[in-house]
Homo-oligomer: A and B are copies of this chain.
């Protein structure tokens, strides 16, 4: 194991945040993207559940705290240039999206026209 921790390498943006891609461990579906800071990464490591930081609300939030749709952390990766996290989780409940969808990425863009395909309730 390396002597360096994720906190040694981490490059935060000018707001002190790093984007975290959340991927379901078993289906490999990309579920959402949210932002963490140093403290929310620590809370995520400690609890093995995803904690994010909302700058607009100036607060930490535990994903699924109200909905019950908790994300149990399986693996965490930092990317090659240290400015993005990939967090692999077991998504609990109905899914990650506040709309009730499994994934936040349901608005499918038609490559020809740039329009949304209707079946994705966009």
Question: Taking beta carbons and an 8 Å cutoff, which residues of A are in contact with B?
Answer: 1-7, 9, 19, 21, 23, 27-30, 32-33, 45, 48, 73, 75-81, 84, 86, 97-99, 101, 104-111, 113-118, 120, 122
Distance in Å: Cβ of A31 to nearest Cβ of chain B: 10
Give the oligomeric copy count: 2
12 A-B pairs in the complex with CB atoms less than 8 angstroms apart:
A5-B116, A6-B116, A9-B116, A19-B19, A19-B33, A21-B21, A32-B84, A75-B111, A77-B108, A78-B107, A79-B104, A80-B98
Question: By the criterion CB–CB under 8 Å, are A76 and B33 in contact?
Answer: no
Question: By the criterion CB–CB under 8 Å, are A117 and B79 in contact?
Answer: no
Give the most central of A19, A99, A116: most B CB within 10 Å: A116
